[in-house]
Amino acid sequence: MANMNSALLALADPTRRAVFERVARAPAPVSDIAKGLPVSRPAVSQHLKVLKEAGLVVDHADGARRIYRIDPRGLGPLRAWLDQFWGAALDAFAADLEAQELETHAKDDKDDEHD
């Protein structure tokens, strides 16, 4: 998949996000990742599978172990989606909100309005 939807779904779970952040700090085998987490090793394997299918991590064999590392490119679609609302929308929001609040106040304080 590796689209914005799968990345969002993957990162929404706190445990899985902890796995992602751990892998982001340094590449590590599954057992090491599970060491610092309050869930079992198979649970970590399942989380890594979801992260991998979302394009957020990559793995490679190292003997009997599998080393997982972050793939920051998987965050690209999500970041692009966010930027849709971040730039111009932020400025527009401030102006719109202010104008809207002025209207609301004018309606609320109708006993105090003049002109």
Among 19, 30, 44, 59, binds a second copy (CB under 8 A): 59
Residue 3 site contact among DNA, a second copy, none (CB < 5 to 8 Å, cut-off depends on kind): none
- Using CB under 7 A as the binding rule, whether residue 56 contacts DNA is answered as no
Residue 85, Ramachandran bin (φ over 0: left; ψ between -120 and 50: alpha; else beta):
alpha
- With CA atoms as reference, report the closest residue to 63 among 40, 16, 31, 41: 31
Q: Are 23 and 68 in contact (CB under 8 A)?
A: yes
- Using CB under 8 A as the binding rule, whether residue 50 contacts a second copy is answered as no
Which residues bind to DNA, rule: CB under 7 A?
Answer: 9, 12-13, 15-16, 29-32, 38-43, 45-50, 59, 61, 63-66, 110
